Homo-oligomer: A and B are copies of this chain.
């Protein structure tokens, strides 16, 4: 018998790689934070002795979900200003609140709320873009959560930095501090083409090349953005990014609701990634990303929730479902964007976009043990003809019972192990009072 840290016997294992495989009565073997074997349970029982053993007879194991675009700390503004036109929402609500309340404490507590929600919902890695990214990274490390931290850049001053050079400098310092943190990776995160000018974008492209880091940027979120850019620069934002050399395999183009055939071809040829945020796009009436066409062209499409202020949750199960349903309607084809495709968007495609495909995104031997278990034995997921279909179209995040990140259990039968729920709730209540004031 080989001694290992953890054995998880499961009714189903959906490894995502190889695609379309669902294993039955298999066991995931974890040691030193990594997956060392996936094999039939009766063989595992003969071969391995686990320091911890779980028998999940009604559950499916999946790779942890990857939320490829969010602003975690905005969870404190969940539902504070709904049903408003985009510019009213930003100018008269979100930005004034951020102006007034943004601080290290806001980002600390908001990130904690978001991490707690994400763990309870089966998300094991989030790709963030917000102020005080150092605090976001610190909180993720503290709670055992995996995060990709956006090194945010604007042209104009905010509480985080004065001008684009200062943003880049602070970002590089954080990159350096985080280089050897196993749970943390970084991306360059120029906010959007309309908030970052050519000079800093070119610097970021050079740094991205040198340090092999993704560039995480909102792009073509709305028709208004594209039209305004055409007025201001005589070109569409993606064309401008292309001319600046940013359309390459490091690009994570978030939203992309406005895409011509030529732009889809350009992104595909360049090996750039799209991060689809369907619920935010719907709620802000931003438009419809042509997901089926992008996938058919060969673009790697990942999935994100956006911040909780425009969603209003960080629920990747809901987001998968919306992506599948909406993808069909936008394509005019009920067979478009099937269940397995959105499950890949929420796992391996996110890993690829973040440059982490050798580490996470599938239950493959050698990868980090970022694993979630879903109880399918509820009447809401009965009868059960196909686990993947049921997970995408009928299951809810409340059916996630257990979550491991790098082999460490962060959710144990629905209980958070690294976050004190009472303390967090009290802090959130204080922020609610302040922000309502």
Contact = CB atoms under 8 A, between A and B. Distances in A.
Contacts of A397: 396
Contact of A329 (B120, B287, B313, B389): B287
Q: How large is the interface on A (under 10, 10 to 19, 20 to 34, 35 or more residues)?
A: 35 or more
B383 A431 contact: yes
A382 B281 CA distance: 22
A326 B325 CA distance: 11
Interface stretch (A150-158, A159-167, A233-241, A335-343): A335-343
Interface in A57-85: 76, 78-80, 82-85
15 contacts: A82-B389, A83-B335, A84-B334, A85-B335, A117-B380, A120-B379, A282-B329, A283-B325, A285-B332, A312-B393, A379-B421, A379-B425, A383-B429, A383-B432, A385-B436
A389 to B, nearest CB: 5
A398 interface: yes
A169 to B, nearest CB: 34
Interface centre among A318, A380, A428 (most CB of B within 10 A): A380
A76 B398 CA distance: 22
Interface in A381-408: 382-386, 389-390, 393-394, 396-398
Given A312-B394, A425-B379, A339 B117 contact: no
A282 B327 CA distance: 8
A80 B385 contact: yes
B282 A326 contact: yes
Contact of A89 (B334, B336, B384): B334
Given A79-B389, A288-B329, A325-B283, A432 B84 contact: no
B282 A328 contact: yes
Contacts of A325: 279, 282-283, 322
Contacts of A284: 328, 334
Interface string A98-126: 00000000000000010011001100000
A333 interface: yes
A79 B379 contact: no
A424 interface: yes
A329 B285 contact: yes
A244 interface: no
A86 interface: yes
A176 to B, nearest CB: 34
Contacts of A76: 383
A97 to B, nearest CB: 11
A183 B285 CA distance: 40
